[in-house]
Amino acid sequence: MNQRNQIYIGGSWVDSYGDDAIDVYDPSTGSVIGSVPEGTPADVDAAVAAALAAFDGWATTPLEERLVLIEGLAAQFGARMDDLGTLISQEMGMPLPMAKMIQVGMPMATTGGVPGTAREFSFEETISRTLVTREPVGVVGCITPWNYPLHQIMAKIAPAMAVGCTVVLKPSEVAPLNAFVLTEIIDELGFPPGVFNLVSGVGPVVGEAIAAHPDVDMVSFTGSTRAGTRVAEVAAINVTRVHQELGGKSANIILDDADFATAIPKAVGACYLNSGQTCSALTRLLVPADRIDEAAELAAAAADAQVVGPAAAEGTGLGPLVSQAQWERVQGYIQAGIDEGATLVTGGTGKPDDLPEGYEDGYYVRPTVFANVSNSMTIAREEIFGPVLSIIGYADEDDAVAIANDTDYGLSGGVWGTDTDRALAVAKRLRTGQVDMNGAFLNHEAPFGGYKKSGNGRELGRYGLAEFVESKSINLPMG
């Protein structure tokens, strides 16, 4: 059992003011693998006080001294890749080889890129007779999700601490154990007390206490649109700056000149990564209406080739969903697709029939493909967060763009076509924060974030760094 009994405040491991604990489950088996303290508003008060007390000293620490510590974090992720990857795989169900490569490799790259970005960042500039300085915003509350737990933490705290902010982190209660290992690393590296603070707990208690706190200068939140809206509401009382990276319902447009045999299987992968538990997953597949049957056949073959199984089993390509609640949610969406008249091409409700013995209680979903989906159906409108692909037909290029943009969200998108100029022109028409052309993938130096109900602000690279600074104009005397 990975049992954690204390939280981290002011450079020390301390007892929570609360007495309760939160169990952490292995989604491959449904069994408890650990626990963390269930924090309280009093814990948040103490953590924010520690961060506030540390702020002036940290903000005036030379940039290079701060960046050396950030570089130490990235190096430790590399040194501990196997252990961290195994832990995260156990917490949230991504197959082990992918967990090491993605769940540890991605935060390692993101963190490792921050020092170079910070060294090139313009912290001062002169505009005519005015000196403009960019200064750390202050105490930052970071509230992070379970699907890419360590990466989403580092996409916030690494740039925040690099520019001179101090932080209070509330990791997801569903996959919090990796945050405790991160905290041990921060403690071992010798970050000054109070620069980083960890309070585990549930969103409606600890998350709301962070968002409502008058001494928190900014909240950076990643999670559902519903929860992100609540954070903004609570933070508004103090006019606290809120950065939100929220949900998505992204479209992948396959143009009529695309190579379907290549594009469709890749499109299934872009929907199913992390068992579909990816905010930027390309869950709506848009194809020419007269080629839906062809696309459905190719998508079904790719879905049926997925090996569903325990995260630690060799050869698993699609692990379980993260929790029983998430499994039930996805089952409801699959049933809604059937009830509303979409064509179930493969998959469906229930668990796969060929699970290994002893894993029947894990949260496994059958890889599912629907065809002949209308963009008005529930499975085309709402974020499912599971391995469920909806194939939608379009009449022409303009219709494809209209369908893609007909959504409350705007986080990601995709375009496939052999004519690169045409595909790029379509990509530029999509009302979304990023677009993958012909299967390209995330660049951790480029901005990541969304339009509309997918949030506001950007993470990663210099755009992410800029979220954590305030601009000050110092008007200099003339002459």
List active site positions. 245, 279
| Residue that is written with structure tokens 């939160």 in the block | 22
Residues 433 and 412: beta-carbon distance below 8 Å? yes
Beta bridge partners of 31: 26
Q: In what order do the strands lie in the sheet containing 21-26?
A: 2-3, 31-37, 21-26
144 three-class SS: coil
Residue type for position 288: P
Q: Residue 63 region, left (φ>0) first, then alpha (ψ -120 to 50), else beta?
A: alpha
Q: Closest by alpha carbon to 72, among 220, 194, 198, 182?
A: 182
205 three-class SS: helix
Which one-letter DSSP state was computed for residue 175?
A: S
Residues 172 and 201: beta-carbon distance below 8 Å? no
Q: Closest by alpha carbon to 324, among 81, 32, 69?
A: 32
Residues 277 and 94: beta-carbon distance below 8 Å? no
SS3 content of the chain, % helix, strand, coil (to 5): 45, 20, 35
| Geometric angle at alpha carbon 309, from 304 and 315, rounded to 5° | 80
* Beta strand segments in 128-283, E: 130-136, 139-143, 166-170, 196-198, 218-222, 241-245, 251-254
CB within 8 Å of 4: residues ≥ 6 apart: 34, 35, 36, 37, 176, 177, 180, 200
Torsions phi, psi for 229 (to 5 deg): -65, -40
Sign of the dihedral through C-alpha 455, 461, 464, 466? negative
Distance CA 86, CA 89 (A): 5
Q: How far is CA 19 from CA 4, 38, 328, in A?
A: 13, 7, 30
Q: How far is CA 388 from CA 122, 225, 416, in A?
A: 44, 20, 20
